[in-house]
């Protein structure tokens, strides 16, 4: 804490401001703030499909029919949470005609 205070003074911060804010920090709070918290990892299943503008909103359709999946005991164990919907880019005519390598 003393080293940190000296660095702040060297940078030109006013002493009264440094003392005011550093006095608010308690040593136990500092230790708990530096402690790493374990994050709960969820097994979220991604649903990846190719983007197609003609298809209706897949997320809305999936959420509307999600009760069907939750009604099945085996599927309910596999799919605990709704999947994340993600799209990949489809191949364009340019991708099919042009080679990337020369």
Residue 18 lies in a domain: yes
| Mean confidence (pLDDT) of the chain | 83
For the ranges 5-9, 33-37, 80-84, the lowest mean pLDDT is seen at: 33-37
Residue 96 lies in a domain: no
Domain of residue 15 covers 2-34
Same domain for 30 and 57: no
Q: Do you know the residue count of the chain?
A: 102
For the ranges 2-6, 41-45, 82-86, the lowest mean pLDDT is seen at: 41-45
Q: What is the pLDDT of residues 10-38, one digit of tens each?
A: 999 999 988 888 877 765 566 666 777 77
Same domain for 86 and 52: yes
Q: Please provide the DSSP assignment of the chain as one string.
A: -HHHHHHHHHTT--HHHHHHHHHH--HHHHHHHHSPPPPPPP-PPEEEEE--TTS--HHHHHHHTHHHHHHSHHHHHH-SSPPEEEEEPPPPHHHHH--S--
Same domain for 52 and 23: no
Same domain for 84 and 50: yes
Residue 100 lies in a domain: no
Beta bridge partners of 47: 85
Number of domains in the chain: 2
């Amino acid at each position: 804490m003393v080293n940190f205070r000296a660095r702040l003074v060297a940078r030109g911060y006013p002493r009264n401001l440094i003392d005011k804010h550093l006095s608010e920090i308690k040593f136990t709070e500092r230790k708990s703030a530096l402690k790493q918290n374990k994050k709960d990892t969820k097994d979220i299943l991604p649903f990846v499909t190719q983007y197609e503008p003609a298809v209706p909103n897949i997320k809305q359709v999936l959420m509307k029919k999600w009760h069907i999946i939750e009604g099945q005991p085996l599927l309910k164990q596999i799919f605990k949470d709704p999947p994340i919907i993600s799209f990949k880019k489809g191949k364009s005519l340019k991708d099919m005609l042009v080679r990337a390598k020369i």
